Amino acid sequence: MDAPERALEVRAGEGLELRADHPLAGLLGRPPPCLRLAALPTPVERAAWLDRQDVEVWIKRDDQTSDLYGGGKVRKLEWLLANAPFDGAAPIVSVGGIGSHHLVALALYLRGLGRRLHALTFDQVYTPHVARNLGALISLDAELWSVRSRAALPLAWLAYHVWRRPAQMGVSMAPGASTGLGGFGFVAAGLELAAQIAAGELPKPATIYITGGSAGSSAGLAVGLALAGVGCRLRIVSAVERWAFNGLLYRRMLGQIVAALATYGLDPARLRGGAAALLKGAGVTWSIDHGEVGPGYAVPTGDGRAAVEHAAAHGLHLETTYTGKCLAGLEADLRRGGVGGPVLLWNTHGDNDLRRWIKDGWEARLPAGLRGRLDGLRGE
């Protein structure tokens, strides 16, 4: 077991009480347990290479949340893995594409806790990035129940529960770890950003760009900003189609996060009127941009690839499923005009090198059907 995993074991073995310096510690009367998985706060930095005319751009570097596996997922897993029903010894079963960052994060952090991941997966375009993620998943001893598409996921569910039922069933976790409690990770992130603004590390953004898919990150961030009194516009660049992420689903996630905050003792006066009133009172607005989805979830687009290349030229590593499309949305809005500054791009990508986890010959451990489909899935 290497140093990052040993650190995870130590953190998991410490008391799980919310530490006194945590952004939510002073707000929750009955705070739930929370693992210490992330190195916070993450830095903010100028991105002058993205400036356009009089609009100043900054980046929130959540790619630096952990040296084990960073990105936004670790913020959610700190909470979920410390609380029922996810705090036992059983495997966890969750859903994602074969290159899912959520599944990779789960596999790595569960390994550090001596547990396993059961993954219900669907095919996606087989880019080199997806291949690395899939190789890491298999090498980390995740077990896959694989189908061709999201529409066929009910078949994966049936296989898991009936046809190829595991000896020990897993506890089901929502896609993207997006639940009311999981959203606390980004509520705290909003409070964290407010503290950085107050400390003069960056100006208060007029607009924050963040990717959207399962809604937990962007909804938690909106609630955290509202609790901190940081009025701004949240521009959520969707990585999925309208049927999978839309205003109705986003409001539902906002409501789940606010309800969870109430359960754990946030002052009821602050939540009177629910999520809509909380955001309106603080001047937090949001909009969803579906213009970068392209042909569908996880299908690379020309603009997304160009954004990834542009970022890489300036030392920022993104990917084509989520964060590349988010940057493409920001750049498109800047070209069109009408975006007031300053602007903040929230980088949720976990940029850790996964090659050290990947074992030679991992492809032989893939489910037979998926192994036979890989050549047809290659996108580049």
pLDDT 10s digits, 224-251: 999 999 999 999 999 999 999 999 999 9
Structural domains of the chain sorted by starting position, each given as residue range(s) with its CATH number in brackets: 3-75+178-347 (3.40.50.1100), 87-172 (3.40.50.1100)
The full length of the chain comes to: 380
Cβ(119)–Cβ(94) below 8 Å: yes
- Please report the pLDDT score of residue 375 as a whole number: 80
> Position 368: which residue type?
A
* pLDDT bracket for residue 338 (50, 70, 90): confident
Please, where are the H alpha helices in the chain? 3-13, 73-80, 101-112, 128-139, 153-158, 184-198, 216-228, 247-263, 274-282, 302-312, 323-336, 368-377
Laid out side by side, the sheet with 285-289 consists of 44-46, 57-61, 343-347, 207-212, 233-238, 285-289
Provide the residue type at 55 as one letter. Answer: V
Q: What rounded mean pLDDT belongs to the chain?
A: 94
Cβ of 10: how many Cβ atoms within 10 Å? 11
Q: Predicted confidence band at 3 (pLDDT cuts at 50, 70, 90)?
A: very low
Dump pLDDT digits (tens) for 140-172.
Answer: 999 999 999 999 999 999 999 999 999 999 999
**For residue 15, what pLDDT is reported?**
52
- Read off the pLDDT band of 7 (50, 70, 90): very low
Q: For the chain, what is the largest distance between any 2 Cα atoms, rounded to a whole number of angstroms?
A: 60
